[in-house]
Amino acid sequence: MKISIRLERKTLGAALSGALLVLLAGVPAWAQSVNKGSALDQALASVSEVSGIKLPDKNRVLVVERKRSISDEHAIYKLGAPWSPFQATGFVAEKGKPFTVYLIIDPDDVCPNLDIINLGKYNWDDQVGQTLKPGKNEITPTKSGIMYIANPHQQKRPPVVYFADSPMMPLYRHGKTTREEWKTMLKKENPYGMVEIVTQRTMFTLTAEKFKKTPPNIEKLCETLEEIMSVYARLLGLSEKNPPPNDIPQNVMHIIEVDAGYMYATNCRIAFHRDVIHEILDYQNNRKSGWGLWHEIGHMHQVQEYKFNDMSEVTVNIFSLEAQAHFKNRARIDSPEMRTAIQKHLALPRNKRDYHKIGDVFIKLAMFWQLRLAFGEDFYPKLHRYNREHNPEQEDRQQYFIQLSSRISGYDLRPFFEAWGLSVSPQTEDAISKLKLRKLTQQIWRNLNFSQVTSKGRVGVAPSKY
């Protein structure tokens, strides 16, 4: 990318000395733009002073929010893959066509990045980026793509970016964009052919063609996406009221439409093929039979410490089942065929009962869900919180999970795991014995009523000192 920078130092300093950034400091962290009141007036006045533009367009003002770096977020929350660190702008770049942006920021603060990602060709790696400079930034992009802001820095006050002349794309901001505004956006020329939907914790990028072919109930879609994220946050023991490592991640869940692959989760995004994107746009499907969406978002929340022995496609579905239960649907593993298969496994002689030789990931999943059935909705949140807070070092993830589950439940769970065919090491035997836990008197491994999910559970978490 060829970038030339020209700073208007005198006018920039004057703008920063005003009341603008004091007012903007009260803007909610996830707000994508200033849109009303004196804060907008101040923002436009400062943009005008820095840029020399007499009447700046209010729709081109962006208040920059902070999102932790993906490495910091991963270290704090230990989730399955890094989430997206990008803030949507609603602007696109055309290869070789210069554009200008202005950055208003306190002196000596670290400046945010502007990234251009070529999602029009569904290649996430086809991107370029550049750190912005205070004042005027004249940029000639070497790629076409959607523009995003990445800002892992803690500035004194939120920076402001003004996009002077960049082409716009339809961007729906949940809770901010009105229906009339959205209809107007969709009618305007959209040469890049993409639309974007942003909620507090998600970002959904897809082709305008697919959006218009299956126009969703956009409010209900946004509410459902937020609801799923809330369900998963609770399962992880996360809350907006908590300090790190138990608060809500700052980065977002980025959902994109692709023309290759089917459904997958990977660094910074989850992707769905264009042939199934209509299902993801259907909020009712996402509440009744949205296993694909629940599953892929689950991968982004999946905790690494419990993925022992090729368990990636097993433990992810603790999240899928939690979403399914939340929306009051029958559990996917709740079927006569599944019950028969599990009973057959549990009936094997002890010396031939090996959990790792089970070929069906859903039979394996049943063991993890039985812990939820037995100990209720607080079991996994407490387990996840303990894991994050204590950051234990362990060589054997299987033995760690057996020990941690026992500690959190308040019960000696060796009989449960042995019934499923998971071996307990001498070191684990010793560690659990030292905890002096309650004896497990119920055969919870025989509970095959997988849709009977209750808040307290069949046994309930025992009072614990831990």
Element (H, E) at 255: strand 253-258
The model's pLDDT over 263-278, given as tens digits with 9 standing for 90+, comes to 999 989 999 999 999 9
HSE-CB for 278 with a 13 A CA cutoff: 7
Asked if omega into 249 is within 30° of 0 (cis), the reply is no
Spatial distance between the Cα atoms of 30 and 13, rounded to a whole number of angstroms = 27
75, 62 contact by CB (below 8 A): no
Spatial distance between the Cα atoms of 314 and 363, rounded to a whole number of angstroms = 9
The model's pLDDT over 339-355, given as tens digits with 9 standing for 90+, comes to 999 999 999 999 999 99
pLDDT band at 56 (very low <50, low <70, confident <90, very high): confident
Whether the predicted model's global pTM rises above the 0.95 cut: no
More confident residue, 16 or 233: 233
The model's pLDDT over 212-260, given as tens digits with 9 standing for 90+, comes to 999 999 999 999 999 999 999 999 999 999 999 999 999 999 999 998 8
The model's pLDDT over 94-127, given as tens digits with 9 standing for 90+, comes to 999 999 999 999 989 999 999 999 876 556 667 8
Instruction: Give the residue among 68, 30, 64 at the shortest CA–CA distance from 152.
Output: 68
Q: Assess whether pLDDT exceeds 90 at residue 186.
A: yes
pLDDT band at 36 (very low <50, low <70, confident <90, very high): very low
Q: Which residues contact 55 (CB under 8 A, 6 or more apart)?
A: 48
Reduced to 3 states, what is the DSSP secondary structure of residue 15? helix
